[in-house]
Amino acid sequence: MKIQLPKDVDYIIKELQKNGYEAYAVGGCVRDVILAREPEDWDITTSASPIQVKGIFKRTIDTGIIHGTVTVMLDKNGYEVTTYRIDGEYEDNRHPREVTYTPYLSEDLMRRDFTINAMAYNENSGLVDIFDGLKDLEEKRIRCVGSAEMRFDEDALRILRAVRFSAQLGFEIERGTLNAAKIKAENLKNISAERIRTELNKLLASPNPDRLLIAWELGITAIILPEFNTLMTKPHKKQKESYGVFSLQSIRYLREQVLPFVKGKEKEASILSWALLLQGLKPEEGREVLRRLKFDNETIDYVYRLLTWCDYEFLLTPWEMRKAVNAIGKDLMDMLFSVKEACILTEKGSISGGKGEDLEKARELYHEILRKKECVELKELMINGKDLIELGFKPGKAMGQVLGELLVSVLKEPELNTKEKLSLMAQEIHLREA
């Protein structure tokens, strides 16, 4: 087998070899090029120690030096170069207590999670595939390297990774690995929220988000996302299936028809996916889930607001739309439309007629507001606190109420949003209150 390595990777491997060491591209990148997928990053494994690696390349960063990893910088790109290692005994199904370097590539491959992730490649040796990873790739199978139960005892995250790869690649999990996952699912309680969040996000962003159902069947979600188990028993208010099943279908529609998950849109895709996944929960409950998984505040806040508004039915007049946008917030509108569209597609299979048509009308009304630059938020009012003080108002809470009152008038009649008109109205209020 011949693999075309990127120029930089080829250079790093050859430099290491010139200095008398072994070096290979390894893991996910080898798997991905064989599958003709774009690798996320290129990892290199070598017999050289971190210090030796640092001696060979001009610019390096000690990314994970205790685990044997040095990042070699070429131009603006970084490549992780890791010394052949054996992971020592594991603590709490979590971290290896210690890592030991080894002179043997085979031992480094043996510590890896799945056969498809345990292949190495360089030009001289070709593909090094001691666990039949290539065959598993061809037969679309996720299989642990060695005894699955032991591997899941060492690091329980691998249980979730198996499901995640199965969703990303559309592969089946081999029977022995599947059984072991079921037996060991409970070990996931020892895994940090951050690591779980990363895997769940990758799963939801994959072409097969509905494979979360495998995690449910295996007893994985009961440990890491018990709310999903609740949603699997909660009947959807309009459909015959449960919220859990409905939500996963809606995430697939989101990806396939509403918002193609493109590079640079990962965060928005993640926010929308979580809002869809948790739509059967109360907003507060959804927020708790994301807090527990240690999501960033922006994501938590957007999802909370989407859960608050996802069932809202727009009234289709310009005035009602302005009031709605004011209450919902402009920053949420496009995401809210996307969530609603995914749900309608899941319910009806299409966006034409009925609810889909209403949604399109709401979208048009909203875009009309944007086109006409109509005021829907306080900060778009042509008068502000400073102006009111000049008109004789005292700073304080009452002033906020006056601005609020002016905004209500402007929502009703957008033409009122000029400085002169609002000043006059404010003066009237001032007189009335005096």
Chain residues binding ligand ATP by CB under 6 A are 27-28, 40, 43, 112-113, 117-118, 155, 157-158
For 70, the enclosing helix (H) or strand (E) is strand 69-74
112 contacts which partner out of ligand ATP, Mg ion, none, CB within 5 to 8 A by kind?
Answer: ligand ATP
What is the spatial distance between Cα 59 and Cα 82, in angstroms, rounded to a whole number? 15
Nearer to ligand ATP, 82 or 308 (CB): 82
136 contacts which partner out of ligand ATP, Mg ion, none, CB within 5 to 8 A by kind?
Answer: none
Tokens of 172: 């089946």
Q: Which residues contact 321 (CB under 8 A, 6 or more apart)?
A: 314, 315, 362, 365, 366, 369
**At closest approach, how far in Å is the CB of 314 from ligand ATP?**
39
**At closest approach, how far in Å is the CB of 238 from ligand ATP?**
36
Closest C-alpha among 10, 6, 11 to residue 32: 6
Nearer to Mg ion, 40 or 390 (CB): 40
Tokens of 86: 């054996």
Per CB under 5 A, does 78 bind Mg ion?
no
Task: Give the other-Cβ count within 10 Å of 388's Cβ.
Answer: 24
Nearer to Mg ion, 40 or 75 (CB): 40
Closest C-alpha among 262, 276, 272, 294 to residue 198: 294
305 contacts which partner out of Mg ion, ligand ATP, none, CB within 5 to 8 A by kind?
Answer: none
Contact segment (CB under 5 A) with Mg ion among 21-29, 57-65, 287-295, 309-317 equals: 21-29
Q: Which residues contact 296 (CB under 8 A, 6 or more apart)?
A: none
What is the spatial distance between Cα 92 and Cα 309, in angstroms, rounded to a whole number? 41
Cite the beta strand spans of 214-267 per DSSP E.
Answer: none
DSSP-assigned letters across all residues of 24-64: EEETHHHHHHHTT---S--EEEESS-HHHHHHH-SSEEEEE
**At closest approach, how far in Å is the CB of 39 from Mg ion?**
7
Tokens of 2: 């011949």
Contact segment (CB under 5 A) with Mg ion among 20-28, 150-158, 311-319, 384-392 equals: 20-28
H-helix segments, 377-418: 385-390, 397-412
158 contacts which partner out of Mg ion, ligand ATP, none, CB within 5 to 8 A by kind?
Answer: ligand ATP
What is the spatial distance between Cα 393 and Cα 270, in angstroms, rounded to a whole number? 46
Nearer to ligand ATP, 168 or 409 (CB): 168
- In angstroms, what CA-CA distances link 86 with 105, 117, 154? 10, 16, 12
Q: Which residues contact 138 (CB under 8 A, 6 or more apart)?
A: none
Cite the beta strand spans of 301-406 per DSSP E.
Answer: none
Per CB under 5 A, does 28 bind Mg ion?
yes
**At closest approach, how far in Å is the CB of 426 from ligand ATP?**
58
Rounded to 10 degrees, what is the CA torsion of 386, 391, 395, 399? Answer: -90
Nearer to Mg ion, 28 or 78 (CB): 28
Nearest residue to the partner Mg ion, using Cβ: 28
Nearer to Mg ion, 111 or 305 (CB): 111
**At closest approach, how far in Å is the CB of 52 from ligand ATP?**
21
**At closest approach, how far in Å is the CB of 42 from ligand ATP?**
9
- With beta carbons less than 8 A apart as the criterion, state whether 25 and 123 touch: no
Number of residues binding to Mg ion, judged by CB under 5 A? 2
**At closest approach, how far in Å is the CB of 342 from ligand ATP?**
25
75 contacts which partner out of Mg ion, ligand ATP, none, CB within 5 to 8 A by kind?
Answer: none
Nearer to ligand ATP, 206 or 308 (CB): 206
113 contacts which partner out of ligand ATP, Mg ion, none, CB within 5 to 8 A by kind?
Answer: ligand ATP
**At closest approach, how far in Å is the CB of 303 from ligand ATP?**
23
Enumerate binding residues for Mg ion (CB under 5 A): 28, 40
